[in-house]
Amino acid sequence: MSAAPSDKPRFIEPPVVEPCLAEPPVSEPPVAEPPVVELAGVTKEYPGGVTALGGVDLRIERGELLAIVGPSGSGKSTLLHIIGTLDLPTAGSVTIAGHHAASLNDRRLSALRAQHIGFVFQAFHLVPGVSARDNVAEGLLYSGLPRAERRRRAALALERVGLGDRMDHRPHELSGGQKQRVAIARAVVGEPDLLLADEPTGALDTASGQAVMDLIHELNKEGATIAVITHDTEIAERLPRQVRLRDGRVVEDSGPHRRVHPAVHGPVAGTPAPGEPR
């Protein structure tokens, strides 16, 4: 005789579920920023058989402070023009902040300079009869910003270089060192990727020149990438990196890929390039 079925509910064990361990998100490898400047095999020739630059390779990373140094006729000014896209090479490639200069027309080259490069020259190039603030605001002329905003940013740039109390002074009311500070403020007001300083202390006395170099060091500590073009070996030796030119070639570079190039036999540059001091 079979047993009567029980009225008690049957307990069914739930299936064992293995814990689902979420896989950690796959992080994308960081994308390396392009160097601010990259020159490869850059040659510049002028009519008459003058080779001002012969096969220059140069890489400038973000945040660097370096000197491009050499005697008159070494090719410094030509290299400045090439890096600043004021001139194009006869051969080789020039890349500024990831942009290939050879692929840009004149209008886009001008835009590249306005957005990515600041220039400081030995002769200051300030507009006479115009206040320091408005001279600095000229550096934002092609930014598309309204005039009031340009002047506001110019005031901040002047404070940054220690001239907050000279905003309304005109160039003839400023000392040589102060004029160069205004020129530096104009060059950095747009926060360019690269500051090119061409003999920035050449027209200054020793004390004013030292003050300008101290300012350049301060700007670099704040993150600015700065190349100082100079014939002065004392100034060059105070900078973290020296790129030495002779006869249109890089003969020594103390940068990250430290190297000394073979000596150049015989003149390459021949005569100084247009604009190069004799």
pLDDT in tens, 59-98: 999 999 999 999 999 999 999 999 999 999 999 999 999 9
Between strands 37-46 and 91-96, the pairing is antiparallel
Q: What is the pLDDT of residues 128-170, one digit of tens each?
A: 999 999 999 999 988 889 999 999 999 999 999 999 999 999 9
Q: Give residue 108's pLDDT.
A: 93
Instruction: Report phi then psi at 274, rounded to 5.
Output: -55, 130
Burial class of residue 114 in the structure, from the number of CB atoms within 10 Å of its CB (0-12 exposed, 13-18 middle, 19+ buried):
middle
Q: What is the pLDDT of residues 244-275, one digit of tens each?
A: 999 999 999 997 755 544 444 343 343 333 34
* Cα distance between residue 85 and residue 83, in whole Å: 5
Measured N-to-C along each axis, helices 176-188 and 206-221 cross at an angle, to the nearest 10 degrees, of: 20
**Cβ 251 vs Cβ 76: under 8 Å:** no
Instruction: Report phi then psi at 197, rounded to 5.
Output: -110, 110
As a whole number of Å, the CA-based R_g of the chain is 29
Tell me what the pLDDT averaged over the chain comes to.
Answer: 86
Q: Give residue 142's pLDDT.
A: 84
Q: What is the pLDDT of residues 201-228, one digit of tens each?
A: 998 999 999 999 999 999 999 999 999 9
Residue spans of beta strands (DSSP E) within 61-168: 65-69, 91-96, 99-100, 117-120
Residue 10 has pLDDT above 70, yes or no: no
Confidence of residue 278 (pLDDT cuts 50, 70, 90): very low
Confidence of residue 34 (pLDDT cuts 50, 70, 90): confident
Q: Give residue 76's pLDDT.
A: 95
